[in-house]
Structure 1
Amino acid sequence: ASLTARPPLPLIRFLLQTMHCVGRESNPGVYGSMVITWTTEDKVDSVVEYSQWGGKFLDQTAKGSSVVFEDGGSEKRKMYIHRVTLSDLKPGSTYVYHCGSDAGWSDLFYFTALDESVHWSPKFAVYGDMGNENPQSLAQLQKDTQARMYDVILHVGDFAYDMDEDNARIGDEFMRQVESIAAYVPYMTCPGNHEQAYNFSNYRNRFSMPGDTESLWYSWNIGPVHIVSFSTELFFYLNYGLDLVFKQYEWLKKDLEEAAKPENRALRPWIITMGHRPMYCSNADRDDCTKFESYVRTGRNDTTPPVPGLEDLFYKFGVDLELWAHEHSYERLWPVYGYKVYNGSVEHPYVNPKAPVHIITGSAGCRERTDPFIPTPRDWSAFRSSDYGYARMQVFNSSHLYLEQVSDDQDSKVIDSMWLVKEKHGPQAWL
């Protein structure tokens, strides 16, 4: 067989580098590893050739396997999703690689193995809602990524618009577009509403996140941070199984309980969540976050049994920062819980706040354009913008986190920034 339709499409995937497998029924990964994922239309071998930067060129070989993915569209297109794990990587070292087989090889790419220490300061790009059409932020993100500005990308739901369209060819094209980012740094994801077709099958098959839930929910550790990724969509697509939303809730509870234990919080004091549909927003539409009793925030009472919401759970375990998308805009909230503002002080609202901080950054660019806001901001809304753009975040240490929003409409100008400073983490920080 030969790769006649297209060359291999590599995507680096971070498997897990952590000292603690938090909240897991099984080990989600191993130390010093990276998962490479790519797609072919023919059944061929799954091979990655790689080498440490400056060493003997491509002197190491790793082999993996592929699974057949059949799209749910009318053509029932089949493709092979390849996954290869590179192990025993040296933290902080750069590796050059290509993937494929003797039937065809990708271009050469490089990545830096993540530091396994809890004392380093990881840097992130954060955004959601990027499509094939009108991907306004993509060019600058490519430039930033290849300039090594980021250690990790966090894509907070909604890809391609939509991956299932044209019998999943739109999904193929999206993967080609983000290759210039995702082949260089770990590309971590959560599902959005635009992935719902055929029970989220394109999302579940194309992305290789930690754990055994087909990337729907998972957690992982990086530096002083425990990051929890989950699916807000389980609250809305109950036709795929009401039991899933309860399974996720129980998993979230166990994961946060483990992460909040004093010995774990001492190592990784920051807990950050990422989910697609926000609990709060001040946009001028009828999305869930515009309702006082949003499903994600307070749950659903129209099911048997009722579905619990997530705000109380996240507050109970002292989640520090909640990252969202879905609204095609940027909005920074004051520290908020139950629609009430709990600033640290009038002069320094984000210094020792008494509630979690919410950030919505869903304006990376897609065919649906940006979303407007209601004329008067809510009391809990601190800053908002409908510019295309994305966020940058760096966790400096156990007490200081920096986040800024970049406007693609204004030549990458930083239009908003904040320091989140916490001397205490966990529920005791709210006292």
Structure 2
Amino acid sequence: MATLHAAYALLSLAPLLVVSDPPVVYTQPEQVHLSYPGVPGSMVVTWTTFNSTDSLVEYSPWGGRLFDKSAQGSATLFVDSGSEKRKMYIHRVTLSDLKPGSRYVYHCGSEMGWSDMFWFKPLDDTSTSPSFALYGDLGNENPQSLARLQKETQTGILDAILHIGDFAYDMHEDNARVGDEFMRQIQSIAAYVPYMTCPGNHEATYNFSNYRNRFSMPGQSESLWYSWNIGPAHIISLSTEVYFYLEYGQELLFRQYEWLKRDLEEANKPESRAARPWIITMGHRPMYCSDDDQDDCTTFDSFIRRGRNDTKPPAPGLEDLFYLHGVDLELWAHEHTYERLWPVYGDKVYNGSTEDPYTNPKAPVHIITGSAGCRERTDKFNPNPKDWSAFRSTDYGYTHMQVVNRTHVYLGQVSDDQAGKVIDSIWIVKEKHGYDAWL
């Protein structure tokens, strides 16, 4: 009976009891992701904590003595520009002298907290037949393709992921908590393979600060533009947004263009093109598209393609630059659809032949892959596309790309709506690369 009275007494005090949330471990690593710094046998590990800690990665070859190697890096304080001025520490550690083709296990953090254990395979510029997933416009609401990407990544199908702009929708929202949540979500893929990025229009708030601080791409441009080599390919990532957000500095547009020109000239040197014949670009907003939304790519005088005449001096577009330097393949997103174009230049089709349009094409090939899944859903198409539109789909999904060898690249569109079915695929076959290939 005494026990019963004690229970009643405790219940009578229930309104006075406060159940608090468990304490947050602000030193615990989260949002772990990899990137390739462009140096053979290296990998960058990036993560976030909400208090200052050391920046350590412990790692070891698969099957060896666990965590018998370690590397130390540094952390930078990122203060979000929202009303709360939330602070976070972005940690970066570069692992070097890795053996390409081997597999390594790692965790990151400090003695104040460690991440889960992950694994990866190093890249270098002699990797054979690298395989990629390509997409843009992935949000933390309705991330339709994420589960399939998780499985493909963790089963070792992919060597790298190219995220072609627009993250989270949007990283700055709720004082950057949406960005935190998105980075936690993609940890399930980005902690296993290099997650290579370019900025999109949804990153523009506060001068792209969430994008520039959270990612760790090669070069010295805060991940806005850069290039890297893998296998027989030279991959260039660029910002299309410099054509639209002139309030953040018109000089960025011209700086990027001059950088692109120098990079393409270097990539076209005989010894460079002999080692890496494929030149592939990735940028968020396309030059061409047949969506029915009045975006820049729906107009003949697209800023990305033709440049801007309302700047001083006039800003050059990218189509002629890419054509004159023999860019083989141009990857885009922004439109929440998938669209494959025939080889196109100057709004005209230049197929290799009627029977084999992508065999020795006479102009670059464009792929738009922006339907990975976000809260804005998919877009609608113009019912009367131009002649350069070869295949279109509004299914959620992403694109596979494999640079098979010096002459062959495979591209296939995976439909998440159709349980992973490949709904479109092509082989680009080129016996010659460079500007002379168009002649």
Q: Choose 282-291 or 1-10, whichever is displaced more.
A: 1-10
Q: Does 1:205 align with 2:209?
A: no
SS at match of 1:9: strand
User: Do the aligned residues in 1 keep the contact of 2:130 with 2:403 (CA within 8 Å)?
Assistant: yes
What is the CA deviation profile of residues 322-381 of structure 1, one whole-angstrom value per residue up to 9, with x for unaligned ones? 000000000000000000000000000000000000000000000000000011221000
What is the CA deviation profile of residues 396-427 of structure 1, one whole-angstrom value per residue up to 9, with x for unaligned ones? 11100000000000001000000000000000
What is the CA deviation profile of residues 234-269 of structure 1, one whole-angstrom value per residue up to 9, with x for unaligned ones? 000000000000000000000000001111100000
| Alignment match of 1:44 (pick from 29, 50, 53) | 53
Q: Does 1:325 align with 2:325?
A: no
User: Do the aligned residues in 2 keep the contact of 1:2 with 1:104 (CA within 8 Å)?
Assistant: no
Structure 2 match to 1:219 = 227
Q: Does 1:162 align with 2:170?
A: yes
* Structure 2 Cα separation of the partners of residues 38 and 274 of structure 1: 24
SS at match of 1:405: strand
| Alignment match of 2:141 (pick from 129, 133, 136) | 133
Structure 1 match to 2:322 = 314
User: Do the aligned residues in 2 keep the contact of 1:8 with 1:99 (CA within 8 Å)?
Assistant: no
SS at match of 2:126: coil
* Structure 1 Cα separation of the partners of residues 320 and 377 of structure 2: 33
Structure 2 match to 1:4 = 26
- Aligned positions of 1:392-431 closer than 5 A: 392-431=400-439
Structure 2 match to 1:243 = 251
One-letter amino acid of the counterpart of residue 46, structure 1: S
* Structure 1 Cα separation of the partners of residues 73 and 435 of structure 2: 43
Structure 2 match to 1:96 = 105
Deviation at 1:5, TM superposition (A): 7.7
Unaligned 5+ segments in structure 1 are 18-30
One-letter amino acid of the counterpart of residue 188, structure 1: M
Structure 2 match to 1:284 = 292
* Structure 2 Cα separation of the partners of residues 40 and 345 of structure 1: 55
* Identical amino acids, percent of aligned pairs: 73
Deviation at 1:171, TM superposition (A): 0.3
User: Do the aligned residues in 2 keep the contact of 1:132 with 1:366 (CA within 8 Å)?
Assistant: yes
* Structure 2 Cα separation of the partners of residues 125 and 45 of structure 1: 33
- What's the TM-score, normalizing by structure 2? 0.94
One-letter amino acid of the counterpart of residue 61, structure 1: S
Structure 1 match to 2:192 = 184
- Aligned positions of 1:51-130 closer than 5 A: 51-117=60-126, 120-130=128-138
User: Do the aligned residues in 2 keep the contact of 1:109 with 1:183 (CA within 8 Å)?
Assistant: yes
Deviation at 1:9, TM superposition (A): 2.5
SS at match of 2:25: coil
What is the CA deviation profile of residues 191-239 of structure 1, one whole-angstrom value per residue up to 9, with x for unaligned ones? 0000001100000000000000000000000000000000000000000
* Structure 2 Cα separation of the partners of residues 97 and 388 of structure 1: 33
Deviation at 1:115, TM superposition (A): 4.3
User: Do the aligned residues in 2 keep the contact of 1:2 with 1:103 (CA within 8 Å)?
Assistant: no
One-letter amino acid of the counterpart of residue 10, structure 1: V
Deviation at 1:394, TM superposition (A): 0.3
Q: Does 1:389 align with 2:397?
A: yes
For the structure 1 residues 103 and 400, does the alpha-carbon distance in structure 2 shift closer, same or farther, using more than 3 Å as the test? same
One-letter amino acid of the counterpart of residue 362, structure 1: G
Deviation at 1:116, TM superposition (A): 3.9
One-letter amino acid of the counterpart of residue 346, structure 2: G
* Structure 1 Cα separation of the partners of residues 365 and 35 of structure 2: 28
* Structure 2 Cα separation of the partners of residues 2 and 381 of structure 1: 52
Deviation at 1:7, TM superposition (A): 4.0
SS at match of 2:83: coil
One-letter amino acid of the counterpart of residue 15, structure 1: P
What is the CA deviation profile of residues 295-314 of structure 1, one whole-angstrom value per residue up to 9, with x for unaligned ones? 00000001111110000000
| Alignment match of 1:347 (pick from 344, 351, 355) | 355
Deviation at 1:12, TM superposition (A): 1.1
One-letter amino acid of the counterpart of residue 196, structure 1: A
Deviation at 1:3, TM superposition (A): 3.1
One-letter amino acid of the counterpart of residue 64, structure 1: G
Structure 1 match to 2:8 = none
* Structure 2 Cα separation of the partners of residues 5 and 94 of structure 1: 28
Q: Could you say what the CA RMSD is over the residues aligned between the two structures, in angstroms? A: 1.1
* Structure 1 Cα separation of the partners of residues 29 and 229 of structure 2: 33
Aligned length: 417
Greater radius of gyration (CA): 2
* Structure 2 Cα separation of the partners of residues 229 and 315 of structure 1: 16
Moved over 4 A (4+): none
User: Do the aligned residues in 1 keep the contact of 2:28 with 2:112 (CA within 8 Å)?
Assistant: no
Deviation at 1:66, TM superposition (A): 0.2
* Structure 2 Cα separation of the partners of residues 83 and 303 of structure 1: 38
* Structure 2 Cα separation of the partners of residues 224 and 251 of structure 1: 22
* Structure 1 Cα separation of the partners of residues 153 and 357 of structure 2: 31
SS at match of 2:368: strand
Unaligned 5+ segments in structure 2 are 1-22
One-letter amino acid of the counterpart of residue 319, structure 2: E
Structure 2 match to 1:20 = none
* Structure 1 Cα separation of the partners of residues 31 and 429 of structure 2: 40
Deviation at 1:105, TM superposition (A): 0.5
One-letter amino acid of the counterpart of residue 265, structure 1: R
User: Do the aligned residues in 1 keep the contact of 2:34 with 2:195 (CA within 8 Å)?
Assistant: yes
